[in-house]
Structure 1
Amino acid sequence: MNSVDIGSSERNRVLPSSKASSGMSEQEVFKTCLFHCILIVISPIFTFFVIKLYLFDALLQLESMQSNLYSALAAVVVLHLALANFIYRAYFQTETVPGFDKLEKED
């Protein structure tokens, strides 16, 4: 088995430190992920019950089946908006590792 000696400058380029490789710390990444998870889980449930109770049942006085249907549709719309927000944030607001696309495989 052949061993290859990698210089310190190449080692830093290939294996960058966690601080140098991303602009966000692990704590910031965790907070962002936790925020989006809570947003995706809680917001549709909150939307369903608030719209059902205050808008469709109290204000418009719809039947139970109709208010459930319209509230569920509103919750689905809110869920899709939360998912779109998460996907946008994950795709467009992340930083790439500098020099990662320039690495070449050596045999």
Structure 2
Amino acid sequence: MADKTHQYPSKTPSRPAGQYPAPGPIGPRPRELDDFISMRPLTFKEKLIMKTKENPFVPIGGALTVVALSMGIFNLYKGDSRKQQLMMRFRIGAQGFTVAALLLGVVYHNSKKR
């Protein structure tokens, strides 16, 4: 069999170099883009601080969850099942607080944008 190569027709007519039309005037840059153009990528620390300032109750709830979980595990190893159960229940409450804070923060910021 002979090797057949297919050449598809180009969609634009071929032109010699330098024969392309000059781009038209772009005009002024929209003001909405000023914030995006001057932004640089945030570091992890900067982003954490910014998000904590936006919704401070989420990190508080996360910290309470970690404390309750740690104390519950500690009491499990210590053998105090009553206190361990109490800490696990507190952990569930702290997780609920965190989720509620997250949802309320989202609702607040969406209503603030309008």
- TM (norm. structure 1) is 0.44
Q: Which structure dedicates a bigger proportion of its chain to helix?
A: 1
The normalised TM-score by structure 2 is 0.43
Greater Rg over alpha carbons, structure: 2
Q: Which has the higher contact order (CA 8 A, sep 6+)?
A: 1
